[in-house]
Amino acid sequence: MDPIQAINDDRHLARSHDDANADLCFLALSDEGQPSVRTLVLREVSDSGLTLFINSTSPKWQIIQENPAAELLLWYHSIQRQYRVTGRIEQLDRSVIEKNWPRRPAGSKYLDHSYGTLADQSSVLASRQSLIDHVTRLRESRPEDDLTTPTSATGVILIPDTIECLDLNRADRIHERKRYFRHNNGWVTEHLMP
């Protein structure tokens, strides 16, 4: 079985159930031994890997630069299925960002421009209102159509080495857990004790 196809099938099924997690993932990184987890939008799942867009002003960018090993968790509550994807992160080619950034919602575009003009991502602000005021001024001075992809907008792909699937939606209540790992040009499956 191809675990990448299984993830895509389950994402589609989760979307059909209006699962709030259908387009989200939870990325775990390690910063000098200190674990950290964050919720991100999962942009694409393909044979190449799992694609995420981030901002290079974010602390996570520095962590990734120093240690590209990562684990990504997908949890689809509506179908009671979890995937743990372990591998290494690589930066996407700039052309991928240039192609996809214009598709972002307007608010996200203005926020991306605020990273370069107000503060880096995760920086302390004087108040939430200072951010709102800044974005309002940006909107007034630059129409959305005039915004270009900021240099700090970037993307990464998690290239999986192993994928674990835990299926809790079994009629017999005996959970199914499988691990897939890359071997040559395919995947090898192991059944695990849940």
Domain span at residue 57 reads 3-94+153-192
Res 94 pLDDT > 90? yes
CATH number at residue 158: 2.30.110.10
Whether the CB-CB separation of 40 and 23 falls below 8 Å is answered with no
**Does residue 11 lie in a domain region?**
yes
CA–CA distance, 51 with 42 (Å, rounded to integer): 6
* The predicted structure's pLDDT at residue 178: 97
Residue 85: CB atoms within 10 A of its CB come to: 26
pLDDT band at 1 (very low <50, low <70, confident <90, very high): confident
Number of structural domains, the chain? 1
**Does residue 119 lie in a domain region?**
no
**Over the stretch 149-175, which tens digit does the pLDDT of each residue have?**
999 999 999 999 999 999 999 989 999
Q: What are phi and psi of 180, to 5 degrees?
A: -115, 135
**Over the stretch 23-80, which tens digit does the pLDDT of each residue have?**
999 999 998 888 999 999 999 999 999 999 999 999 999 999 999 999 999 999 999 9
**Does residue 52 lie in a domain region?**
yes
Sorted by sequence, the CB contacts under 8 Å of residue 130 that are 6+ apart come out as 118
| Tokens 């240690």 -> residue | 67
**Does residue 105 lie in a domain region?**
no
**Does residue 62 lie in a domain region?**
yes
Tell me what the mean pLDDT of segment 99-104 comes to. 92
Res 98 pLDDT > 90? yes
pLDDT band at 116 (very low <50, low <70, confident <90, very high): confident
* The predicted structure's pLDDT at residue 53: 95
pTM: 0.91
